[in-house]
């Protein structure tokens, strides 16, 4: 049996064995942990219950030459 001819089969079989062994020795999945957050607490009276997060991106616009360079 020529090993060079069967190298692809050997590599695939090794990958399958390694993948199966990872699942076999992995510990049981831990229980879900919920992070403490102020978003889950009730808001004081007079304020919105959930505040929306706002993301501001500040950057200069590209010039025509810079746009052409990236295109």
Tens-digit pLDDT string for the chain (71 aa): 577 778 999 999 999 999 888 877 766 656 555 555 555 455 555 555 567 788 888 888 889 999 899 87
Rounded to an integer, what distance in angstroms lies between the CA atom of residue 20 and that of residue 26? 10
Can you give the pLDDT at residue 47?
Answer: 56
Q: Token pair of 53, please?
A: 């997060």
Can you give the pLDDT at residue 5?
Answer: 78
Residue whose tokens read 């199966």: 20
46 dihedral zone (left: phi>0; alpha: psi -120 to 50; beta): left
Rounded to an integer, what distance in angstroms lies between the CA atom of residue 19 and that of residue 24? 9
């Amino acid at each position: 049996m020529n090993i060079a001819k069967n190298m692809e089969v050997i590599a695939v079989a090794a990958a399958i064995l390694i993948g199966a062994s990872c699942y076999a020795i992995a510990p049981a999945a831990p229980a879900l942990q919920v992070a403490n957050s102020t978003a889950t607490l009730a808001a004081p009276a007079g304020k919105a219950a959930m505040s929306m997060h706002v993301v501001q991106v500040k950057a200069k616009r590209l010039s025509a030459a810079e746009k052409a360079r990236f295109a």
